[in-house]
Protein backbone atom coordinates (compact mmCIF):
# COMPACT_ATOMS: atom_id res chain seq x y z
CA UNK A 1 0.00 0.00 0.00
CA UNK A 2 1.10 3.52 -0.74
CA UNK A 3 0.89 6.74 1.17
CA UNK A 4 -1.52 9.63 0.71
CA UNK A 5 -0.88 11.51 -2.51
CA UNK A 6 -2.05 14.89 -3.65
CA UNK A 7 -4.60 14.84 -6.45
CA UNK A 8 -3.41 17.61 -8.73
CA UNK A 9 -6.41 17.44 -11.10
CA UNK A 10 -8.75 19.89 -9.37
CA UNK A 11 -8.70 19.43 -5.63
CA UNK A 12 -6.22 22.06 -4.51
CA UNK A 13 -4.38 20.88 -1.42
CA UNK A 14 -6.91 18.23 -0.37
CA UNK A 15 -5.24 14.81 -0.10
CA UNK A 16 -6.44 11.84 -2.09
CA UNK A 17 -5.81 8.41 -0.65
CA UNK A 18 -4.41 5.51 -2.65
CA UNK A 19 -5.33 1.95 -1.69
CA UNK A 20 -3.84 -0.87 -3.78
CA UNK A 21 -5.23 -4.42 -3.81
CA UNK A 22 -5.07 -7.62 -5.82
CA UNK A 23 -8.29 -9.12 -7.19
CA UNK A 24 -9.00 -12.49 -5.60
CA UNK A 25 -10.22 -15.60 -7.39
CA UNK A 26 -13.27 -15.92 -5.14
CA UNK A 27 -14.39 -12.46 -6.31
CA UNK A 28 -14.85 -13.64 -9.91
CA UNK A 29 -18.10 -14.74 -11.49
CA UNK A 30 -18.98 -17.32 -14.14
CA UNK A 31 -17.56 -15.02 -16.85
CA UNK A 32 -14.15 -14.96 -15.14
CA UNK A 33 -14.33 -11.29 -14.23
CA UNK A 34 -14.73 -9.63 -10.86
CA UNK A 35 -18.39 -9.68 -9.87
CA UNK A 36 -19.88 -6.21 -9.71
CA UNK A 37 -20.79 -6.47 -6.01
CA UNK A 38 -17.12 -6.65 -5.08
CA UNK A 39 -16.41 -3.12 -6.25
CA UNK A 40 -18.69 -1.85 -3.47
CA UNK A 41 -16.68 -3.90 -0.96
CA UNK A 42 -13.48 -2.43 -2.40
CA UNK A 43 -14.91 1.06 -1.86
CA UNK A 44 -15.45 0.16 1.79
CA UNK A 45 -11.90 -1.17 2.13
CA UNK A 46 -10.51 1.99 0.55
CA UNK A 47 -12.65 4.24 2.77
CA UNK A 48 -11.44 2.50 5.94
CA UNK A 49 -7.86 2.72 4.68
CA UNK A 50 -8.34 6.46 4.05
CA UNK A 51 -9.67 7.02 7.57
CA UNK A 52 -6.69 5.17 8.99
CA UNK A 53 -4.31 7.35 6.96
CA UNK A 54 -6.03 10.42 8.40
CA UNK A 55 -5.30 9.16 11.90
CA UNK A 56 -8.89 8.08 12.55
CA UNK A 57 -9.04 4.29 12.17
CA UNK A 58 -12.59 3.03 12.21
CA UNK A 59 -11.98 1.17 15.48
CA UNK A 60 -11.18 4.51 17.14
CA UNK A 61 -14.29 6.18 15.70
CA UNK A 62 -16.50 3.26 16.77
CA UNK A 63 -14.96 3.34 20.27
CA UNK A 64 -16.14 6.96 20.47
CA UNK A 65 -19.69 5.71 19.87
CA UNK A 66 -19.94 6.98 16.30
CA UNK A 67 -21.43 4.89 13.50
CA UNK A 68 -20.96 5.82 9.84
CA UNK A 69 -23.64 3.98 7.86
CA UNK A 70 -23.93 4.07 4.09
CA UNK A 71 -26.84 6.15 2.78
CA UNK A 72 -26.22 5.63 -0.94
CA UNK A 73 -23.82 3.97 -3.36
CA UNK A 74 -23.17 4.71 -7.02
CA UNK A 75 -20.80 2.71 -9.21
CA UNK A 76 -20.11 3.17 -12.90
CA UNK A 77 -18.31 0.22 -14.49
CA UNK A 78 -15.87 1.20 -17.26
CA UNK A 79 -13.79 -1.93 -17.98
CA UNK A 80 -13.35 -5.41 -16.51
CA UNK A 81 -11.07 -6.52 -13.71
CA UNK A 82 -9.98 -10.15 -13.72
CA UNK A 83 -8.50 -12.48 -11.14
CA UNK A 84 -4.99 -11.49 -10.05
CA UNK A 85 -5.20 -7.98 -11.53
CA UNK A 86 -3.86 -5.31 -9.22
CA UNK A 87 -5.94 -2.16 -8.92
CA UNK A 88 -5.30 1.24 -7.41
CA UNK A 89 -8.33 2.78 -5.69
CA UNK A 90 -8.13 6.54 -5.32
CA UNK A 91 -10.40 7.90 -2.62
CA UNK A 92 -11.28 11.44 -1.67
CA UNK A 93 -13.95 13.29 0.27
CA UNK A 94 -15.91 15.49 -2.13
CA UNK A 95 -18.64 16.72 0.22
CA UNK A 96 -18.75 17.08 3.98
CA UNK A 97 -21.30 18.92 6.09
CA UNK A 98 -20.41 17.60 9.53
CA UNK A 99 -23.56 15.44 9.44
CA UNK A 100 -23.10 13.80 6.02
CA UNK A 101 -20.09 12.93 3.89
CA UNK A 102 -19.69 11.88 0.25
CA UNK A 103 -16.61 10.04 -0.93
CA UNK A 104 -15.56 9.58 -4.56
CA UNK A 105 -13.61 6.58 -5.84
CA UNK A 106 -11.61 5.86 -8.99
CA UNK A 107 -10.44 2.30 -9.61
CA UNK A 108 -7.55 2.02 -12.08
CA UNK A 109 -5.47 -0.87 -13.32
CA UNK A 110 -2.23 -0.55 -11.38
CA UNK A 111 -0.06 -1.54 -14.34
CA UNK A 112 -1.76 0.22 -17.26
CA UNK A 113 -3.64 3.05 -15.51
CA UNK A 114 -6.82 2.08 -17.37
CA UNK A 115 -9.96 3.26 -15.60
CA UNK A 116 -11.98 0.28 -14.33
CA UNK A 117 -14.76 2.07 -12.49
CA UNK A 118 -15.78 5.23 -10.69
CA UNK A 119 -18.14 5.60 -7.79
CA UNK A 120 -19.43 7.52 -4.82
CA UNK A 121 -20.74 6.63 -1.40
CA UNK A 122 -22.66 8.90 0.93
CA UNK A 123 -22.59 8.39 4.68
CA UNK A 124 -24.01 10.00 7.79
CA UNK A 125 -22.78 10.03 11.37
CA UNK A 126 -24.96 8.46 14.09
CA UNK A 127 -24.59 7.93 17.83
CA UNK A 128 -25.43 4.73 19.71
CA UNK A 129 -29.10 5.72 19.78
CA UNK A 130 -29.12 6.05 15.97
CA UNK A 131 -29.48 9.81 16.22
CA UNK A 132 -27.53 12.15 13.94
CA UNK A 133 -24.19 13.38 15.28
CA UNK A 134 -23.04 16.90 14.50
CA UNK A 135 -19.31 16.43 14.38
CA UNK A 136 -18.47 20.14 14.46
CA UNK A 137 -20.09 20.53 17.86
CA UNK A 138 -19.65 17.07 19.39
CA UNK A 139 -16.31 15.91 17.93
CA UNK A 140 -14.48 19.01 16.64
CA UNK A 141 -11.14 17.26 16.12
CA UNK A 142 -12.71 14.64 13.85
CA UNK A 143 -14.69 17.38 12.09
CA UNK A 144 -11.52 19.38 11.38
CA UNK A 145 -9.72 16.32 10.05
CA UNK A 146 -12.50 15.54 7.59
CA UNK A 147 -12.79 19.22 6.60
CA UNK A 148 -9.09 19.34 5.83
CA UNK A 149 -9.54 16.45 3.39
CA UNK A 150 -12.47 17.79 1.37
CA UNK A 151 -11.66 18.01 -2.33
CA UNK A 152 -13.43 19.86 -5.11
CA UNK A 153 -15.16 17.39 -7.41
Q: Mean of the pLDDT values across residues 42-66?
A: 97
Which structural domains are found in the chain, ordered by start? 5-147 (3.10.129.10)
pLDDT tier, 151 (very low <50, low <70, confident <90, very high otherwise): confident
Burial (0-12, 13-18, 19+ Cβ within 10 Å), 85? middle
- Is residue 108 predicted with pLDDT exceeding 50? yes
Q: Mean of the pLDDT values across residues 106-135?
A: 97
Q: Mean of the pLDDT values across residues 4-27?
A: 70
pTM (two decimals): 0.87
Long-range contact set of residues 26-33: C-beta below 8 Å, sequence gap at least 24: 27/83, 28/82, 28/83, 32/82, 32/83, 33/80, 33/81, 33/82
pLDDT tens for each residue of 56-97: 999 999 999 999 999 999 999 999 999 999 999 999 999 999
Task: Give the model's pLDDT for residue 49.
Answer: 97
- Is residue 14 predicted with pLDDT exceeding 70? no
Q: Are 85 and 22 in contact (CB under 8 A)?
A: yes
Average pLDDT, the chain: 90
Strand partners, 87: 21, 109
Residue 70: helix, strand or coil by DSSP? strand
Between 2 and 11, the higher pLDDT residue: 11
Q: Mean of the pLDDT values across residues 2-10?
A: 35
Task: Give the model's pLDDT for residue 13.
Answer: 57
Amino acid sequence: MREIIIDDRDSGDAPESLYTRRANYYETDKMGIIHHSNYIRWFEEARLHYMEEMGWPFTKVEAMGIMIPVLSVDCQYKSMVRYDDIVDIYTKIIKFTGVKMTIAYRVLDSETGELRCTGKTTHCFLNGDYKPVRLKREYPELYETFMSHVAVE
